[in-house]
Structure 1
């Protein structure tokens, strides 16, 4: 293999090209690509890239190292070995007692984890399936105990070993085998085997689509721009990195200060503008806010050299410049979701360092600034694993969609992989389309340079909160931010764990309101008020107040029923200076004219 040579980036295409204000235009120019590597290094990287494709992007060295570390420490811990033997004996005793004296009304000795849905069918409560289920859960319990932290063992190796053990057990679960799963047996009898025929068809369809990397169109009733991402608006600015959408006002009077939303580039933006009933964008517009949204491009090999700095300067700052050109002399309420919140934090700290006071407030939604406790995604990341990913990206110019999807699915493999496989391939049931499901399957690519910088600088080295993250050669500090902050974490988030999100309070000094809401990374955020589900906790920390740890914070703040959105919109209104007549779309006198109707063109890139 040979390294693909990046093609020169083209300026914005044009029937849509506009005369931009000088500051915006300067930020829109692509940067020069770095110098090519030595040919010998290219040979090595090509060889490693081939190995990475064979292992689906997983570094075997990283996992072998974890198993070796765990096994060697366990081998020299006779006391722990006795504990494990006793645990195995206890679990076997429980299983035998339950098998010899079966009682249908007795509580099971072992229960699945809260997120494990594999054994919900009533058939698992009957013999012999109950014994198979309990045997599997007993083994799972023993391995969880065996891979617990051990003195001298690196904590990340213990966690990684537990993860790998769980992956192997999930593969061998009795729920995955037709002859051992009562739900499959019942369905096969009921349909005379039609479910297996339908399942085989589903399997072949998924297999072909995976091999060919076919991106299936959205099902009927879930069309982007018609059913999803359908809040009215116009793209008012475009460069090679993003389109900026300005949404049409729905009220005669609006809050004077606009909102700029920065979504993560790891996903399509319309998670925040799903169906009309649960669209955060529509909710804000209906409440009288002028809303702008960044819609990132889906990068190709020609954009392999896009950097993290590009996403800050030619992304966030360019969008802010355009908003200021449309609504001059007004502060902007900036909102960042997931990685969009991370890059917004970097941009805000840089602006604070440079005495740029254009931000009226900052909302960080399920966004991390410190990555020391970044959850199970860290299990995939060490020097060896990142080098593997870099070699894969070096050959293609980007991290492809399948690698991203596999990483997120593996974290909850029992539900996102195996339960879905059983449902599709053995029960013969199609996935029921939902707006969230359509968005989840609409994955994106990551440009090689940016993703490497992000993984190394933030996840692996945690530079932002360690005081080692530099922008334009000068270190930035989150404590320089003086704008008020509204931060949101979700209770069951396995991508941005809420205690990691909470640590934003540890590294900032400005006035902060923190919300902890029920639900996960997406379901907890997309929680429209009309549905009134779940609960949330909320409190305010005044500027300069002492830090309170997350566990103490939970005990001090009782849960409140319903969505957190009304509390957020009230907070935003308090930060505004009052209402003014609704503005027009764009600024034609400054070259920012409507280009195309929302949701634009970049959202359709596959």
Structure 2
């Protein structure tokens, strides 16, 4: 052996030593991991998944189907067996010939398997193909069940897909080629970094594993998020009222107040200047107010929908009128805040209060006869569990809400981020939208149950009437001029359900806009991006499907179209208003104090 040979081997020895050191570090971190994992909250089974009744019904229905129509099920089983055996034989045949290459791959494209080794390495390609064959077989088995009702079938389809997604080979280190290759390339450093990321997430959430989606150190509210200049001009125990500083010499006489959902924080409407709906509205010459809701704790146990309407909406509307010296305002409600705005308008109709000149609804459900994708979590098994949890704690913890919405897009919001953070050891991105998504809020116990039972489950507002402040209000009582914006791929507020609710309202002046994209991206879609288009159709007497089929497609954001509609409802131009007045002194600069509460 020459000196050159020894020198060539030295780096290898160093690499092995580095790998051993990293693996030793992994052992140390594992002990720390086991310690913190024991600190997590105990979550009731009713909040972990559907009741066993669903699976019992599914199994019974499958057995019934097998007895009544065995030929169909046997055909599908044989098809699955045939594909699996053929796949195995083809892979073995190539190996027998000494060819280290995968067999023909006719499985559908799936972005989870984007790494090249899924296509080029025979071992990983075999695993991928067989997983996708198995997944298709599970989906087919669910579709073969014809004796479940449509809602049960929808739930079975959803939860079986969750199981299939959970056991994807990408989610496990031994069957994730990208993670294994990176671990080898970095001598195990990626695994150490991944464990450190996991432990940091567990410690930050008291033992609950919540994947950090965005770099929390990259953003500070008021500095690089929620930066539109303004001030808190009113505060009570429910909300802070923020008035934004004008950027034009003249403004429309009728002010605009925006009610964001209290399920999340308001700054989704004011992320960065270039995608801030609030800043854009100010720049169009509107006097803009926004409600920043309190993040409730257990002390808000008895806070109800009536409290949100009386001490939230009606109070905010009154304060805006006083500050601006006007008799009428224009109002916007987003998601659940739009639902509650509709309840408020119906109550105001009963009270002969005409102080809202027009209303705009963003991704709002008022008719819950079809609850869309989120409906899988709105049956009694889950809602009973939520009711028990809030009775004990006094509030619906943001942990449960965040987890529910994340599971509606589990590959994008749970498994994908977990793979990058925990297996690849990558730091979370500096992404403003994901930062906001992780900044959740709690819901008061009483209000949460009223919303889930009375609106989501019983659909009272669109049927027999919903009780608010001693009155029974109905959807037909909403009679102000209105504009509604729904989103085509919205997984929280299905656009067809939103459309149905709008058609049932009593207003004679109605405009409906369908934006491309989803619950957030379809709304936060500034004109400068020139990204998502939108549909319009003045005929609201059509079914949702016929409305879309005959609608006009427009390129670009719906914001300018809404501006044209809203400006006609906003009166003449007057001298721009600075935040507050003598009776409403500046209490704090925007974005206020409530938004900072964790």
| TM-score, normalised with respect to structure 2 | 0.86
Does 1:65 pair with 2:46?
A: no
Does 1:145 pair with 2:145?
A: no
Q: 2:181 aligns with which of 186, 200, 223?
A: 186
Q: Which residue of 2 aligns with 1:86?
A: 75
Q: Which residue of 1 aligns with 2:453?
A: 456
Mapped to 2, the partners of 1:119 and 1:400 lie a distance apart of 35
Q: Secondary structure at the residue paired with 1:466? A: coil
Q: Indicate conservation of the 8 Å contact 1:160/1:379, yes or no.
A: yes
Mapped to 1, the partners of 2:439 and 2:44 lie a distance apart of 20
- Structure 1's 486 and 61: CA in aligned 2 closer, same or farther, altered over 3 A? closer
Q: Which residue of 2 aligns with 1:325?
A: 322
Q: Which residue of 2 aligns with 1:171?
A: 166
Higher mean alpha-carbon deviation, 481-490 vs 268-277, is at 481-490
Q: Secondary structure at the residue paired with 1:465? A: coil
Q: Secondary structure at the residue paired with 1:559? A: strand
Q: How does 1:103-114 map to 2 (within 5 A)?
A: 108-112=106-110
Q: Which residue of 1 aligns with 2:16?
A: none
Mapped to 1, the partners of 2:293 and 2:520 lie a distance apart of 19
Does 1:584 pair with 2:575?
A: no
Q: How does 1:409-558 map to 2 (within 5 A)?
A: 409-510=406-507, 511-541=509-539, 547-558=541-552
- Structure 1's 580 and 517: CA in aligned 2 closer, same or farther, altered over 3 A? same
Q: Indicate conservation of the 8 Å contact 2:90/2:103, yes or no.
A: no
Q: Indicate conservation of the 8 Å contact 2:537/2:552, yes or no.
A: no
Mapped to 1, the partners of 2:358 and 2:286 lie a distance apart of 14
- Structure 1's 444 and 202: CA in aligned 2 closer, same or farther, altered over 3 A? same
Mapped to 1, the partners of 2:209 and 2:182 lie a distance apart of 30
- Structure 1's 134 and 556: CA in aligned 2 closer, same or farther, altered over 3 A? same
Q: Which residue of 2 aligns with 1:39?
A: none
Q: Secondary structure at the residue paired with 2:390? A: helix
Mapped to 2, the partners of 1:238 and 1:149 lie a distance apart of 56
Q: Which residue of 2 aligns with 1:74?
A: 62
Q: Indicate conservation of the 8 Å contact 1:375/1:494, yes or no.
A: yes
Q: Which residue of 2 aligns with 1:605?
A: 597
Q: 1:260 aligns with which of 257, 261, 275?
A: 257
Q: Indicate conservation of the 8 Å contact 1:228/1:275, yes or no.
A: yes
Q: Indicate conservation of the 8 Å contact 1:297/1:603, yes or no.
A: yes
Gaps of 5+ in 2: 1-39, 92-100
Q: 1:197 aligns with which of 184, 192, 199?
A: 192
Does 1:402 pair with 2:399?
A: yes
CA deviations over 1:412-458 (Å, ceiling 9, x no partner): 22221111111111111111021111111111111111111111111
Q: Secondary structure at the residue paired with 1:234? A: strand
Q: Secondary structure at the residue paired with 1:527? A: coil
Mapped to 1, the partners of 2:286 and 2:575 lie a distance apart of 11
Q: Secondary structure at the residue paired with 1:492? A: coil
Mapped to 1, the partners of 2:70 and 2:350 lie a distance apart of 54
- Structure 1's 194 and 62: CA in aligned 2 closer, same or farther, altered over 3 A? closer
Q: Secondary structure at the residue paired with 2:107? A: coil
Does 1:211 pair with 2:206?
A: yes
Q: What is the CA distance between 1:95 and its match in structure 2?
A: 4.9
Q: Indicate conservation of the 8 Å contact 1:57/1:403, yes or no.
A: no
Mapped to 2, the partners of 1:61 and 1:220 lie a distance apart of 33
Q: Which residue of 2 aligns with 1:15?
A: none
Q: Which residue of 2 aligns with 1:49?
A: none
Does 1:316 pair with 2:313?
A: yes
Q: What is the CA distance between 1:120 and its match in structure 2?
A: 2.0
Mapped to 1, the partners of 2:103 and 2:247 lie a distance apart of 57
- Structure 1's 309 and 394: CA in aligned 2 closer, same or farther, altered over 3 A? same
Q: Indicate conservation of the 8 Å contact 1:53/1:392, yes or no.
A: no
Q: Indicate conservation of the 8 Å contact 1:491/1:519, yes or no.
A: yes
Q: Secondary structure at the residue paired with 1:548? A: coil
- Structure 1's 493 and 387: CA in aligned 2 closer, same or farther, altered over 3 A? same
Q: What is the CA distance between 1:97 and its match in structure 2?
A: 5.0
Q: What is the CA distance between 1:375 and its match in structure 2?
A: 2.1
- Structure 1's 110 and 318: CA in aligned 2 closer, same or farther, altered over 3 A? same
Q: Which residue of 2 aligns with 1:354?
A: 351
Mapped to 2, the partners of 1:421 and 1:350 lie a distance apart of 46
Q: What is the CA distance between 1:328 and its match in structure 2?
A: 2.9
Q: What is the CA distance between 1:498 and its match in structure 2?
A: 1.4
Q: What is the CA distance between 1:529 and its match in structure 2?
A: 0.9
Q: Indicate conservation of the 8 Å contact 1:235/1:245, yes or no.
A: yes
Mapped to 2, the partners of 1:105 and 1:334 lie a distance apart of 60
Q: Secondary structure at the residue paired with 2:240? A: strand
Mapped to 1, the partners of 2:208 and 2:62 lie a distance apart of 43
Mapped to 2, the partners of 1:57 and 1:242 lie a distance apart of 34
Q: 1:559 aligns with which of 534, 537, 553?
A: 553
Q: Which residue of 1 aligns with 2:562?
A: 568
Q: What is the CA distance between 1:311 and its match in structure 2?
A: 0.7
Q: What is the CA distance between 1:236 and its match in structure 2?
A: 1.0
Q: Indicate conservation of the 8 Å contact 1:74/1:81, yes or no.
A: no
Higher mean alpha-carbon deviation, 375-384 vs 331-340, is at 375-384
Mapped to 2, the partners of 1:151 and 1:214 lie a distance apart of 38
* Count of aligned positions: 545
Report the structure number with the largest CA radius of gyration: 2
Q: What is the CA distance between 1:219 and its match in structure 2?
A: 3.6
Mapped to 2, the partners of 1:66 and 1:294 lie a distance apart of 41
Q: Indicate conservation of the 8 Å contact 1:535/1:561, yes or no.
A: yes
Does 1:122 pair with 2:116?
A: yes
Mapped to 2, the partners of 1:128 and 1:557 lie a distance apart of 50
Mapped to 2, the partners of 1:139 and 1:429 lie a distance apart of 30
Q: Indicate conservation of the 8 Å contact 2:215/2:431, yes or no.
A: no
Q: Indicate conservation of the 8 Å contact 2:202/2:209, yes or no.
A: no
Q: Which residue of 2 aligns with 1:236?
A: 233
Mapped to 1, the partners of 2:561 and 2:389 lie a distance apart of 44
- Structure 1's 80 and 341: CA in aligned 2 closer, same or farther, altered over 3 A? farther
Mapped to 1, the partners of 2:307 and 2:82 lie a distance apart of 60
Gaps of 5+ in 1: 1-51
Higher mean alpha-carbon deviation, 237-246 vs 94-103, is at 94-103
